[in-house]
Structure 1
Amino acid sequence: MEIINGERLVLGTCYYPEHWDESLWRDDLRRMLENGIEVIRIAEFAWSKIERYEGVFNYDFFDRFLDVAADMGMKVIFCTPTATPPAWLTEKYPEVLNANMDGVLYRHGGRRHYNYNSPKYQELTRIIVEKSASHYAKHPAIIGWQIDNELNCEKNEFYSESDTIAFRKFLMEKYGSIDALNEAWGTNFWNQTYNSFEEVYVPRTTLSNNTNPHEVLDYTRFVSDSACRFAKMQSDIIRKYIKPGDFITTNGLFGNLDNQRMTNESLDFITYDSYPNFAYCLDAYNKDNFLKDRMWSRNLSEVRAVSKNFGIMEQQSGANGWNTGMAAPTPKPGQMTLWTMQSVAHGADYVSYFRWRTCTYGTEIYWHGILDYSGRDNRRLAEVKSVHEKFQKLSEIAGSKYEAKVGFLKDYDNAWDSQLDVWHEKVEWKSQLGIFEAAQRTHTPMDYIYLRDDVTAEDLKPYSVLFYPHPVLISEERKVVLEEYVKNGGCLVLGCRSGYKDMYGRCVMDKLPGKFAEMSGVDIPEYTLVSPDNKDIVIDWDGTKLEAAVFNDQLVAVGEHAEVLGRYENCYYAGEPGLIKNTYGEGTVYYFGAAFSEKTAEVFLEKLGVKDPHNAKLEIPETCELAVRKKDDTEYCFVLNYKDAEAEIHVKEEMTDLYTGEKVSGTVVLKPFEVRVLK
């Protein structure tokens, strides 16, 4: 049974047989199946159930559970347990532990406290994965494997001695000589020159934490490389034993990790852990953010950038809460369904709820699952059953792809640089949120596309407009791909600070915007961070005032095809160009000299003719999200009401409601948190 097979939508849940008396297993599985749950994930934190003592392996516990699962007809995703090494391991081999920047070890008692580069941890990981896969993979209940759990979650920085040794090897392979490294890192600055690789360490605590930014950029690449190699080590072992048709995945989407590389090298598809309820317990999502839980559509779009169809390994089903300060309310009636359909709308064909029962002990005692502590039937279980019934009616959607003509280009080099460069970080997040919020408010479906070395202009061709707000770092190879896309008729929108660094993170001495100069028709003789006391700077575009947020490039049009569209106002450089359009081949490049606020991004969507592309069919209030999945010539329109109030939509062309099979047109009322799927 393939859970992402293009044939139907499948429900699952996370189950922890080690947390519950064996007498509960069979009844739990029966109740799951009765309510539409067909797949469970197990064992990601259960190393000691297989290897309680070093070198002593006992398979009886999971043998018994898997036999019960097979007898009941429940399918199982089995996990490698490497996210939580057992106490005997960390006590005997403290070198496997991760450390903070000062070298202080993270001790046993949490999770993900190991480091990827410890030779001893790699050895013990190979053993436990080999033993688990060779014994369990043939079991008929198992349909797939999850590697570890949430790679780079909790901590995505590693400062152990093993990491320093591995970092040196990474750098030797990349640069070949210490002189080449010195050149790339600009170590002449502050007399940081190295005479050998043995003098190089992972970043360490320095006065005022003034680390070398080029070293840190390479270090972040190293962290990603380490996680990818760790995943591949496990995947290579599992591949030797899995049955034909079984799959390998891992869950989550975390920082300092090239998820595309990891997926391509090690996985059949990626799965995501979706917790929209974080919006109601994290201040970062509450302040000045009308989207709240709808922000998780941005995260789901990131997952879709890895795989058009994907799975959810952990979907919100109850209140969030650890015993360490994290707390969020129980989902209101209908929100669990809303968030499930949010995942499906963005491309998920498999959704697994976290978790079946709420644990009665441990750190996650307040992180509720479908059932509460007593395990009795409740409102959330009834909602799961209703989701299953909806899934059956939506089965034809499986395998369809999210449809978007607007794309947002990203790449890991710039994402990681924006963690180091305060100017880059300020413009990056202003534009990331601004463009996404504008697309959401205006019902303009949008994809994220990672500009990797294997991406071609042909891959970009389906998008009418591509935003690449702040490609600070740009390589010659990526520049060529973008030029070809534009020359063939594409529309590329750039923002301030584009092209001012090379791939080592060093500022270029070319006239800015560096490698973008020719295609953009722009020269940038001067630039400035916007002063806190001068926040009313605007760029006038044919009478429309665009907020010139965060940072301002003062532009000059270069070449016969470059046209000034907008000029600055309310600043000492008033009258200078701030927006230039350049015709390049059959296409166009727009260079906007600032970051993109939500209102500014909306103007671009409108003027470039891509705003609200489905308006001829549907008129939807901005409090609702529109997501469209398409298979062949059939479009499936998801309308999601995130508000605890009714919402009216207007169906302009007759469509079919997939839940009821009825034809609908005219005014349709959505109940609080309701989702309609219209064909």
Structure 2
Amino acid sequence: MRADQRIHFGGDYNPEQWPEEVWAEDTRLMKQAGVTMVTAGIFSWAKVEPRPGAYDFGWFDRVMDNLSTAGIRVCLATMTASPPPWLSRAHPEVLPVTQDGHRLWPGSRQHYCPSSPVYREYATRLVEQVATRYATHPALDTWHVGNEYGCHVSQCFCDVSAADFRRWLEERYGTVDALNEAWSTAFWSQAYDSFDEVLPPRQAPTFANPAQQLDYWRFSDDALRQCYLAEVEVLRRVTPRVPVTTNLMPHHKPVNAFAWAPHMDVMALDYYQDPHDPETHLGAAVNFDVMRSARGGQPWMLLEQAPSAVNWRDRNGPKRPGQMRLWSWQAVAQGADAVLYFQWRASPGGAEKYHSAMVPHAGTDTRTFREVADLGRELASVPEIAGTRSRADVALLTDWNSWWALELDSHPSTALDQTAINRAHHRALFEAGVPCDVLPPDRELDGYRLVIVPNLYLLGERDAARLTDYVDRGGHVLVSFFSGIVDECDRVRLGGYPARLRGMLGLRVEEFWPLAEDTTVPVRGELDGTADLWSEAIDLEGAEAVAVFGDGELAGRPAVTRHAFGAGTAWYVGTRLDAAALRALTDRVREAAGVLPVLPGLPPHVQATVRSDADRSFTFLLNHGEGPAEITLPEPMRDLLRPGTAPLRALTLPARGVAVLQPDPH
């Protein structure tokens, strides 16, 4: 174990909100709470550059020095997340414009057009100053670039963005003829004679060109990433050995995490679980697996969560006793090596004044601060976990390009929700205690026993061939409905759905039959249950029906199929099964693939994961239920969170309880 190895713990630190006499108390309390890292400077632009080119870093020097003296590392922000008022006053063209032509004004944050060269110029000028000034500062640990890209302005439709979009299209397609072919502009007389005629998909009389919309999603993600990369270029040049990251957001459609991952030295996520949602941990589980998988299993950072309540939901419930600890450990159990919060000290004013903080308005004599400090001490007691990794026998494929295309308008159903279908398939694995990697379809699949493909509507030729080859060589795959339908330009592949997957699946879908809202249909056969949202008229071409629709126009026709293909097996679900039926099907498929749970016989609300390396293995058990859970262990194990206790062969895990187990060496 490295001497500096540990799970970092801390939060966003915003000292500019407080008089300087508070800062000494901050560092004293941070040490008391076990804080090892803070993010700092995220919203400091206006204070360090109060006028164009007039920099005042003296106060921030003292902040950095105070933190260094206290032994606290800094994930230092580039300070560019919220431009100061003087920038938009001098350059109103940096302000973003909505799809229907309304300009968004200063007064909150993130009020800039991602394509604006003026914004990028001023932002990188600031980054040069910040990086040069703190390049050798002993507190500097990691660079935090920007903040929550695309949170409030994910797409801009101004003239600056329009010009940037045309440049992007010309680079992508080369000629306007190639653009017309890709966008199917023969439909509705949309053919372009020049790139100069092309506009963003602004508000139009009816459905905008779907390929144009899809490309605008791609372009907008790229524009945001170019803002990030412009700052990263400065940081790499000035501080080549300091890692860089930015805080991504959960279920965040505008930002393609897989496309950003190669440009981040460590993945980082903001995740705010909802105390009013009894299944909030399931949504967290999918996102945590994305973060871990995006860089090949590398440990990641939970850069923001709430110590208790947030301020931005309609009903902002506080975390109940033990929930903050449980959900923090969930991130660690799924690969995080850092657990931080927004924010350190609760603000007395501003839009987030009712957002909880590590130090609440009421001070340190509070449940929140006590729970935070207890967790800090607990994480510090197990530094050996840091650096270990997880492995999975199951991969769940998802793709931002397909997500953008799937949820466009003028489809058989506009009720399709990529996040919901991913979560449904992931839940069936989570409740079985089976680890899962979440990958894009262009990743290699060797080493996985089972691949799950939820609604992969857009599927490229190479990715379809890779998936087919995986099954042919002995893999097992479970594909859900409306997959493999279109190419990268949202053009339907002709000859019968699901096109390139037909041979592997051994079937043809002749027609889609979306179900009416609030309508269900029974599914009968080797698998019984109900289905809603979607159905399909499936003709078998070598596959066998595992279950059929029980009534309606498709009564007796296949709903779930299985096909022996090469040395492997391909399963297909032509509808949306209820949770119990999907769990039963997933259990059957994974058992056939030889995929075993971490621990057998666990209740569905008890999460089990493993992190390990060549020398160590840690089994995490987390009880997300409302009552105690009795758990039998396969061998004597020690609970690292209860040092000094005897080895266990069984344990009672209380509601919201956590155990971190290692095999007893004796």
Whether TM exceeds 0.5 here: the answer is yes
Which SS does the other structure have where 2:611 is aligned?
strand
2:269 counterpart residue number: 272
Letter of the 1:72 counterpart: A
> Counterpart in 2 of 1:176?
174
Please name the residue that 2:117 is paired with.
119
For residues 427 and 146 of structure 1, what CA distance do their matches in structure 2 show? Answer: 31
CA distance in 1, matches of 2:67, 2:377: 23
- In 2 relative to 1, CA 377–89 (structure 1 residues): closer, same or farther, beyond 3 Å? same
Is 1:451 matched up with 2:441?
yes
Alignment equivalent of 2:570, drawn from 584, 589, 600: 589
AA matched with 1:252: L
Partner residue, 1:549: 532
2: CA distance, partners of 1:126 / 1:429: 34
Aligned pairs (5 A) from 1:194-209: 194-208=192-206
1:521 maps to what in 2?
Answer: 506
Deviating more after overlay: 598-607 vs 485-494: 598-607
Within-5 A mapping of 1:375-390: 375-390=363-378
Match status 1:672 vs 2:662: no
Question: 1:489 pairs with 469, 474, 494, which one?
Answer: 474
Do the aligned partners of 2:34 and 2:380 also contact (CA within 8 Å) in 1? no
Deviation sequence 1:113-134 (CA, Å, 0-9, x none): 1111111111111211111111
Does the aligned pair in 1 maintain the 2:468–2:501 contact within 8 Å?
no
Aligned residue runs from structure 1 range 305-320, under 5 A: 305-307=293-295, 308=297, 309-320=299-310
Q: CA deviation at 1:109?
A: 0.7
Which SS does the other structure have where 2:178 is aligned?
helix
Q: Which residue in 2 is equivalent to 1:569?
A: 550
- Helix, strand or coil at the partner of 1:608: helix
1:425 CA displacement: 5.0
Secondary structure in 2 matching 1:502: coil
| Cα distance in 2, alignment partners of residues 212 and 299 from structure 1 | 31
Name the counterpart of 1:404.
392
2:185 pairs, out of 187, 212, 230, with: 187
- Residue 624 of structure 1 is matched in structure 2 by 606
Q: Which one of the candidate residues 591, 608, 622 is aligned to 2:589?
A: 608
Separation (CA, whole Å) in 1 of partners of 2:323 and 2:223: 38
Query: Which amino acid is the alignment partner of residue 588 of structure 1?
Result: T
Decide whether the 8 Å contact of 1:523 with 1:556 is kept in 2. Answer: yes
Instruction: State the Cα deviation string for residues 195-223 of structure 1 (Å, max 9, x = none).
Output: 22122111111124x21111100000001
Provide closer, same or farther for how the CA distance between residues 553 and 145 of structure 1 changes in structure 2, counting only shifts above 3 A: same
Matched with 2:496 is 511
Partner SS state of residue 316, structure 1? coil
**In structure 2, C-alpha distance between the alignment counterparts of 1:16 and 1:533, rounded to whole Å:** 48
Secondary structure in structure 1 of the residue aligned to 2:537:
strand
- Of the structure 1 ranges 577-586 and 80-89, higher mean CA displacement relative to structure 2 is found in 577-586
Query: Aligned runs of 1:314-393 on 2, under 5 Å?
Result: 314-322=304-312, 326-393=314-381
Segment of structure 1 superposing worse, 399-408 or 174-183: 399-408
Partner in structure 2 of residue 222 of structure 1: 219
Quote the residue 2:67 is aligned against: 69
User: Does the 8 Å contact 1:428/1:595 carry over to 2?
Assistant: no
Q: Deviations over 1:173-196 (max 9, x none)?
A: 111122221221122222222222
Residue 211 to residue 648, structure 1, CA distance change in 2 (3 Å): same
What letter is aligned with 1:40? V
Following superposition, the deviation at residue 341 of structure 1 comes to: 0.3
Q: How big is each residue's C-alpha offset from its partner over 1:298-347, in whole Å with a ceiling of 9 and x where there is no partner?
A: 2212222323210011122122115xx64412222211111110110111
Distance in 1 between residues matched to 2:84 and 2:205, nearest whole Å:
37
Structure 1 residues 601 and 78, CA gap change in structure 2 (3 angstroms)? same
Q: What is the aligned partner in structure 1 of residue 77 from structure 2? A: 79
* More off after superposition, 664-673 vs 498-507: 664-673
What is the CA distance between 1:236 and its match in structure 2?
Answer: 0.8
- Structure 2 SS opposite 1:227: helix
1:34-53 CA-partner distances (Å, limit 9, x unpaired): 22101111111110222110
The answer as to whether partners of 1:138 and 1:241 remain within 8 angstroms in 2 is: no
**1:247 and 2:243 correspond:** yes
For the 8 Å contact 1:424–1:472, the answer to whether it is kept is no
Q: Deviations over 1:335-383 (max 9, x none)?
A: 1111110110111011112211100010001001011125334322222
Structure 2 equivalent of residue 39 of structure 1? 37
Counterpart code for 1:20: W
Find the aligned partners of 2:210 and 2:425 in 1 and give their Cα distance: 28
Matches within 5 A, 1:458-477: 460-477=445-462
2:107 counterpart letter in structure 1: G
Aligned equivalent of 1:283: none
User: Counterparts of 2:223 and 2:598 in 1: how far apart (Å)?
Assistant: 49
Match status 1:648 vs 2:630 = yes
Relative distance call for 1:69 and 1:633 in structure 2 (3 A) is closer
Tell me the distance in 1 between the aligned counterparts of 2:646 and 2:217. Answer: 53
What is the match of residue 636 of structure 1? 618
Which structure 2 residues correspond to residues 412-431 of structure 1 after superposition, within 5 A? 412-421=400-409, 422=411, 423=413, 426=416, 428-431=418-421
* Alpha-carbon spacing, 1:20–1:532, altered in 2? closer, same or farther (3 Å): closer
The alpha-carbon distance between structure 1 residues 331 and 191, as it changes in their structure 2 partners (threshold 3 A), is: same
Task: Provide the rounded CA distance (Å) in 1 between the counterparts of 2:518 and 2:38.
Answer: 56
Q: 1:261 to 1:527 in 2, by over 3 A?
A: closer
Q: Distance in 2 between matches of 1:38 and 1:648?
A: 35
Structure 1: unaligned runs, 5 residues or longer = 281-285
What number of residue pairs does the alignment pair up?
Answer: 654
Contact 1:652 1:665 in 2 (8 A): no
Q: 1:134-180 CA distances to partner (integer Å, 9 max, x unpaired)?
A: 11222122111100000111232221221111001111111112222
Identity of aligned residues (%): 29
Relative to structure 1, the CA distance from residue 448 to residue 663 in structure 2 (aligned partners, 3 Å threshold; closer, same or farther) is farther
How does the TM-score come out when normalised to structure 1?
Answer: 0.91
Aligned to 1:441: 431
Match of residue 258 from structure 2: 260
Letter in 2 for 1:625: Q
The answer to whether the 8 Å contact 1:581/1:590 transfers is yes
Summarize the Cα distance change of 1:536–1:260 in structure 2 as closer, same or farther, 3 Å threshold: closer
Please give the alpha-carbon distance, in whole angstroms, between the structure 2 residues aligned to 1:548 and 1:294.
Answer: 21
The alpha-carbon distance between structure 1 residues 156 and 328, as it changes in their structure 2 partners (threshold 3 A), is same
User: Would the alpha carbon gap of residues 144 and 652 (structure 1) be closer, same or farther in structure 2, given more than 3 Å must change?
Assistant: closer
Asked whether the equivalents of residues 282 and 427 of structure 2 are also in contact (C-alpha less than 8 Å), the reply is no
Distance 1:75 1:497 in 2: 48
Please give the alpha-carbon distance, in whole angstroms, between the structure 1 residues aligned to 2:240 and 2:455.
Answer: 45
> Are the counterparts in 1 of residues 407 and 417 from structure 2 also a CA contact under 8 Å?
no
Task: Write the letter of the residue equivalent to 1:493.
Answer: L
CA contact 2:433–2:598 (8 Å) conserved in 1: no
Shift of 1:569: 2.1
CA offset at residue 390 of structure 1? 2.1
Say which SS state the counterpart of residue 633 (structure 2) adopts.
strand
RMSD: 2.4
Distance 2:293 2:89 in 1: 40
Q: Deviations over 1:654-676 (max 9, x none)?
A: 22212124444455222332111
Between the aligned partners of 1:444 and 1:179, the Cα distance in structure 2 is 49
Moved more, 432-441 or 129-138: 432-441
1-structure distance, mates of 2:99, 2:518:
37
Cα separation, 2, equivalents of 1:95 and 1:488: 56
